[in-house]
Amino acid sequence: MLRTEPKDPFADVPGAREMTLTIDGATGIGGRLSSLSMKPNSKYTNYSSKDRIENERERLESAPMFTMHPHSTFRIIWDIGTVIILLLNVIFIPYQIAFCTRPEHRRNGIVLFALSDIWFLIDILFNFKTGFLKETSIETEVIFDPDEIRCKYLKGWFIVDFISSVPWDICIGLLTAGSSRFFLKILRMVKLLKLMRLSRLTKTLNQWEDVLSFQYGITINGTVVKFCKLISYILVFIHINAVILFLVPAMMDFPGHYEPDDPGFNVFGPSWPFLRNLEHEEPFIQYSWSFFKAASNMMVIGYGRSFPLCLVDMCVVMWSMFSGCLVFAIAIAEITSLIHALNTSSSQYKVEMDEYMNFCKVPIELRNRVRDYYEVRFKGKMFNETDILNELNPLLREKIVNFNCRALIKSVEFLATADPEFVAELISQLQFEVYLPGDEIITEGEKGTHMYFISQGSVQVKTKKTGKPIVLSEGDHFGEICLFAPNLRRTASIVGQHTVHVYTLSSSDFNDALKWYPGEKIEIQKVAIERMDMLLNEMKRNNSAQGRTSLSTEVIADLQKYRNMLQEQNRQARASQAEFIANRKTKNKSSTAKSLLRQMNDNDDINVDVLAELTKPKSQEISKFQFNDGYADRSSTSDDE
């Protein structure tokens, strides 16, 4: 059993591992460009080879000065900062409009809003210098042309970005000097235009999800992402409703107590902040009560601590209750759907498994072992891998299988330099298996039929003679001798040390694939003979040192027999191959001479005798070869030319 050092599972798979590139073009700003070999509907460029990444780097270097790549590290970090500032605006702009009514309270947000305005204005400038993704029928390309970038941005997000970047506080202060207080309150609502950038938030978050997954290898469960988004939407909705509940009375200067005969008693009446004595409290206390009232209305558990006493409050509460109930119902339905989707496949396989084991009256200990296997094998999910792969087109199926297994195949000495088509044929024959700790994968003395490639976990190699076991781990393989010596008895036991994920290759599938590649068979037989010689010498030394057993004697005899048979087959195949090549050269020479004679038969200067000698039929027949079961067999046929 040959032990190899674990290899990078992506090392031999072009485009499988994300490729990174430092982008130091005219911008002078470093960055990393992932391969982004993403899902088919992804709008990111598919950099599936080093050459394409190098070509992208050269394109960026030749772009105008300060042009940025949309996937550079700087651009990604800048977008993260933009989203953070935008989320702060979502919280604090409505909060300031509704609760910061006094000048001393409004001063607290000056720094944040000034930073926000400056950041968004700079972002507009960066957008004019950042390439964009242009989709074609073949691929997605990054455009660096300044005119196209400018035209694309002006026709797209420029208006939204510009409106949300205007410093409305300064504009309102300059244009409304001396205006009435109520008019100023109305104009303060204009600051909500800064939230127009929220329309770009979903797109940016989706981009981050792809970047984390394909560039940095951080994969977040889709259900968790959806659940977090749902909670965020609910909190933002309650926040906006809390602002509305307090803003309406604040716009009317918190109407207080009215006499029953007062015309405004039923319309304005005492507002709920007045009843709670909140009009002079600190903004945070006012906001806390409003948030509680909005959450209570949404979940239909009451009106907070009071019910509406006037028409205005009643209208606002009705809006809060109606919209809150709708959002609450949608949230419950969405959460139910997420939980159902999370457990559907898990519940399905558990029910089927329990029904089967009950029917077979399987012992409790074995039942637990089976449950552990399925939990490890499918990680709580139930799917038929074969059916899924069969539904894919051949190209996608080959890419997935190659991605999973090519590095394991390439770690084998006699397959490392094999024909890629032959390797692909072997990969398609691999079968995935999972073994639990303590499982005996191979038993010493049994007949071998499969070779094993360790994808994850580790195993122990144990023999009855040796005490200390050998440990094989990820990237190693064992049981390869059975590919060349079918039914040879195993010389050691293989036991799972931890949970082990392996791919198996049967000797019959290996030899069936080898039939179509006689050239590869010759080279592989040569390596196999050398491997058998090493194993024979090792077993003979062990027998001399530790004493012979009936099993070791039988294995040595069988191995010697297979080794001699393989050597004879290899010798015959090499001789047949050499003879075939020589005869083909002879036939090509004869055909060339005949062609020359036909072309020159009208030329009196040609030495006809020389040409006739060249085209004279050979006394021996030219042999043609047919390959049967991977061996070169001669079948003599006369040269009819």
Per-residue tokens: 143: 């455009």
Q: How confident is the model at residue 634, as a pLDDT?
A: 37
Q: Residue 426: pLDDT above 80?
A: yes
C-alpha angle with apex 583: 580 to 588, nearest 5 degrees? Answer: 125
**Burial of 607: CB neighbours in 10 Å, binned 0-12, 13-18, 19+:** exposed
Average pLDDT in the 189-214 region? Answer: 70
Given this model, what pLDDT does residue 17 score?
A: 34
Arithmetic mean of pLDDT, 489-498: 87
DSSP 22: B
Distance, CA of 15 to CA of 35 (rounded, Å): 7
Greatest alpha-carbon pair distance for the chain in Å reads 137
Alpha helices (H) along 486-549: 507-514, 518-546
User: Quick one: average pLDDT of 137-157?
Assistant: 80
Of residues 474 and 4, the one with the higher pLDDT is: 474
pTM greater than 0.85 (yes/no): no
Residues 379-390 have a mean pLDDT of: 65
Q: What are phi and psi of 277, to 5 degrees?
A: 55, 45
User: How far is Cα of residue 131 from the mean position of the Cα atoms in its chain?
Assistant: 25
Q: Are 405 and 453 in contact (CB under 8 A)?
A: yes
Q: Given pLDDT bands bounded at 50, 70 and 90, which one contains residue 237?
A: very high
What tokens does 627 get?
Answer: 């390959």
- Say if residue 172's pLDDT is above 50: yes
What does the alpha-carbon distance between residue 168 and residue 190 come to, in Å, rounded to a whole number?
7
Provide the 3-class DSSP secondary structure of residue 591. helix
Instruction: Answer for the pair 37, 17: CB distance below 8 angstroms, yes or no.
Output: no
Torsion sign across C-alpha atoms 533, 537, 538, 543 = positive
Task: Flag whether pLDDT at 3 surpasses 70.
Answer: no
In the block, tokens 């191995």 appear at: 559
Taking the C-alpha atoms of residue 141 and residue 131, their distance in angstroms, rounded to an integer, is 10
* pLDDT for residue 612: 47
Which of 11-15, 208-212, 243-247, 553-557 has the highest average model confidence (pLDDT)? Answer: 243-247
For residue 490, the 8-state DSSP code is P
pLDDT per position as a tens digit, 449-466? 899 999 888 899 887 766
On the question of pLDDT at 161 being above 80, the answer is yes
> Encoding tokens for residue 533?
């010689």
| pLDDT classification of 238: cutoffs 50, 70, 90 | very high
Question: In the predicted model, what is the mean pLDDT of residues 304-312?
Answer: 69
Residue 213 pLDDT level (bands cut at 50, 70, 90): low
Q: Going by C-beta distance under 8 Å and a sequence separation of 6 or more, which residues neighbour residue 618?
A: 586, 590, 639
Single out the residue of 180, 185, 183, 295 nearest to residue 245, CA to CA.
Answer: 295
Cβ–Cβ under 8 Å, residues 256 and 231: no
pLDDT > 90: what percent of the chain? Answer: 3
Question: How is residue 570 written in tokens?
Answer: 């290899």
Note the pLDDT of residue 155: 87
Confidence check: pLDDT of 267 > 70: no
Q: How far apart are CA 67 and CA 141, in angstroms?
A: 15
> In this structure, what are the phi and psi dihedrals at residue 21, rounded to the nearest 5 degrees?
-150, 130
| Confidence at residue 592, expressed as pLDDT on a 0 to 100 scale | 56
Asked if residues 443 and 474 have their Cβ atoms less than 8 Å apart, the reply is no
Q: Which of 154-168, 236-250, 484-498 has the highest mean pLDDT?
A: 236-250
Q: CA 434 to CA 482: how far, in whole Å?
A: 21
Residues 72-89: what's their mean pLDDT? 85
The β-bridge partners of 142 are: 133
Q: 266, 260 in Cβ contact below 8 A?
A: no
Helix axes 73-99, 222-251, angle to 10 degrees: 30
Crossing angle for the helix pair 168-175 and 181-188, nearest 10 degrees?
Answer: 160
3-state helix, strand, coil in the chain (%, to 5): 60, 10, 30
Which helix or strand (DSSP H or E) is residue 98 part of? Answer: helix 73-99
Average pLDDT of the chain is 73
166: helix, strand or coil: coil
Distance, in Å, from the CA atom of 491 to the CA atom of 552, rounded to the nearest integer, reads 8
Q: Residue 432 forms beta bridges with which residues?
A: 503
| pLDDT above 70: residue 276 | yes
Please tell me the predicted confidence (pLDDT) of residue 588.
62
Contact 474/6 with Cβ under 8 angstroms? yes
Distance CA 219, CA 397 (A): 22
Q: What is the pLDDT of residue 235?
A: 92
Average pLDDT rounded to a whole number, residues 462-478? 80
Radius of gyration of the CA atoms of the chain, in A: 39
- The Cα–Cα gap between 487 and 202 comes to 60
Q: Tell me phi and psi for residue 29, to 5 degrees.
A: -105, 120
375-376-382 Cα angle (round to 5): 50
Could you tell me which residue, 56 or 567, shows the higher pLDDT?
567
pLDDT recorded at residue 385: 67
User: How much of the chain exceeds pLDDT 70, in percent?
Assistant: 68
Task: Classify residue 521 by burial, with Cβ atoms within 10 Å: 0-12, 13-18, 19+.
Answer: buried
Looking at residue 575, its pLDDT comes to 81
Q: Which of 291, 309, 308 is nearest to 299 (CA)?
A: 291
Q: Residue 60 class from Cβ within 10 Å (0-12 exposed, 13-18 middle, 19+ buried)? A: buried
